[in-house]
Amino acid sequence: MASITVGAATSLSSSTSIHTKKLHLCSRTSLSERKASFVVVRCGGTKMDDGSNRIGGRADQLVTNAVAAKANTPAAATASKPGHELLLFEALREGLEEEMERDARVCVMGEDVGHYGGSYKVTKGLAEKYGDLRVLDTPIAENSFTGMGIGAAMTGLRPIIEGMNMGFLLLAFNQISNNCGMLHYTSGGQFKIPVVIRGPGGVGRQLGAEHSQRLESYFQSIPGIQMVACSTPYNAKGLMKAAIRSDNPVILFEHVLLYNLKERIPDEEYVLNLEEAEMVRPGEHVTILTYSRMRYHVMQAAKTLVNKGYDPEVIDIRSLKPFDLYTIGNSIKKTHRVLIVEECMRTGGIGASLTAAITENFHDYLDAPIVCLSSQDVPTPYAGTLEEWTVVQPPQIVAAVEQLCR
- Residues with Cβ < 8 Å from 383, sequence gap 6 or more? 206
List the catalytic residue out of 99, 162, 184, 211: 211
| Neighbour count for residue 297 (Cβ, 10 Å) | 28
List the catalytic residue out of 90, 111, 142, 387: 142
Q: Is 184 a catalytic residue?
A: no
**Phi, psi (deg, nearest 5) at residue 342:** -140, 160
Are 319 and 227 in contact by the 8 Å Cβ rule? The answer is yes
CA of residue 26 relative to chain centroid, distance: 31
C-alpha to C-alpha distance for 304 and 14, rounded to whole angstroms: 22
Residue 5 DSSP label: E
| Neighbour count for residue 81 (Cβ, 10 Å) | 11
Sign of dihedral through CA atoms 38, 44, 47, 48? Answer: positive
Are 195 and 149 in contact by the 8 Å Cβ rule? The answer is yes
Are 197 and 169 in contact by the 8 Å Cβ rule? The answer is yes
Q: Is 142 a catalytic residue?
A: yes
C-alpha to C-alpha distance for 378 and 384, rounded to whole angstroms: 15
C-alpha to C-alpha distance for 392 and 1, rounded to whole angstroms: 24
Q: Which of 90, 152, 159 is nearest to 125 (CA)?
A: 90
Q: How distant, in Å, are the alpha carbons of 21, 67, 246, 332, 361 from that of 336?
A: 11, 29, 35, 5, 13
Q: How distant, in Å, are the alpha carbons of 145, 185, 291, 376 from that of 255?
A: 22, 31, 10, 18
Which positions are catalytic?
A: 142, 211
